[in-house]
């Protein structure tokens, strides 16, 4: 199951730098590509505002 970023995203970029497979793309609200996401949870652990969770 892929992770998803909610509208609470602060667009800080922390998650993008932590993703080992490069599944996160930049934007006003960052997005996780569900096809690339390996559900490792590294991004959710790194998010300072808790905006990332499993779908």
Mean pLDDT value of segment 1-19 = 96
Whether the pLDDT of residue 55 is over 90: the answer is no
Tracing tokens 């909610």 back to the chain, one arrives at 6
State the Cα torsion 24-20-35-9 to the nearest 10°: -30
pTM: 0.90
List pLDDT tens digits, range 30-49: 999 999 999 999 999 999 99
SS3 of 44, please?
helix
Domains in the chain, CATH or no CATH each = 3-54 (3.30.70.20)
Q: What was the pLDDT predicted at 18? A: 97
What gap in Å lies between CA 39 and CA 27, rounded to an integer? Answer: 21
Q: What percent of the chain lies above the pLDDT cut of 90?
A: 96
Q: What angle do CA 33, 54, 27 make, to 5 degrees?
A: 40
């Amino acid at each position: 199951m892929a992770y998803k970023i909610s509208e609470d995203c602060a667009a800080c970029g922390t998650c993008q730098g932590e993703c080992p497979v490069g599944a996160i793309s930049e934007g006003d609200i960052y997005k996780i590509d569900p096809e690339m996401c390996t559900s490792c949870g590294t991004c959710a652990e790194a998010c300072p505002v808790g905006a990332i969770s499993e779908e």
